[in-house]
A and B are shown apart, each in its own frame.
Chain A
Amino acid sequence: GNSVTQMEGPVTLSEEAFLTINCTYTATGYPSLFWYVQYPGEGLQLLLKATKADDKGSNKGFEATYRKETTSFHLEKGSVQVSDSAVYFCALSESGANSKLTFGKGITLSVRP
């Protein structure tokens, strides 16, 4: 079956530090890959997505590249802000998101001023 593995957290960084959150996946087909962010007390917001190999998703300074050879979709940001403090979920879906999303466990990011 499908699975998503995220690095263990939580992660605490100082403002303007570089961020990498690792995500690897296992899938039988050619999934679409997503990063969602959840701010405290809120639902999930789509941060970025990639639908095929070598695609790069980007939004709000965050980037992730769909690496089929390493089955990875690592999230990066060059300079984090306090407002980036949230829980980040990596997810995949087979044949578009009308099918189920498989989520990683999520990782909490805290950014100190």
Chain B
Amino acid sequence: GAVVSQHPSWVICKSGTSVKIECRSLDFQATTMFWYRQFPKQSLMLMATSNEGSKATYEQGVEKDKFLINHASLTLSTLTVTSAHPEDSSFYICSASGTSGPARDTQYFGPGTRLTVL
């Protein structure tokens, strides 16, 4: 199958600091990666879509200067939450899809990162 990892799995930080979350496709080339945010007992909210080597496309209402996304290679995308505040505390999940193999036309999800901002 297609495996996606995230690191870290959980992070606690102080208000005002920045946090970087990594998303990796372990066994396929991820031409497209997606970043979601999930609040407790709710569905996933798409934050942005990134294609390798291109700027991310952000959904309406998502602050691009606050949630920096980089997709520098076909196996790695990063989400940096800048100047984090308690309201940014959430579960962040990435997904990835490719153009061949099991990940063709199908998004595979990472295990998620729990961010708590104190």
Contact = CB atoms under 8 A, between A and B. Distances in A.
Interface of A: 32, 34, 36, 41-46, 49, 51, 89, 93, 96-98, 100-101, 103-106, 108
Interface string B86-103: 000000010101010000
Given A89-B43, A103-B43, A106-B43, A97 B93 contact: no
B105 interface: yes
B105 A51 contact: yes
Interface in B34-85: 34, 41-44, 46, 49
B25 interface: no
Nearest to A36: B109
Contacts of A41: 112, 114
A19 B81 CA distance: 40
Given A42-B112, A98-B32, A100-B49, A32 B44 contact: no
Nearest to B45: A103
24 contacts: A32-B105, A34-B106, A43-B6, A43-B93, A44-B44, A44-B95, A44-B109, A46-B109, A49-B106, A51-B105, A89-B43, A89-B44, A93-B105, A93-B107, A96-B106, A97-B97, A97-B107, A98-B32, A98-B105, A100-B46, A101-B46, A103-B43, A103-B44, A106-B43
A101 B43 contact: no
Contacts of B93: 43-44
A42 B108 CA distance: 13
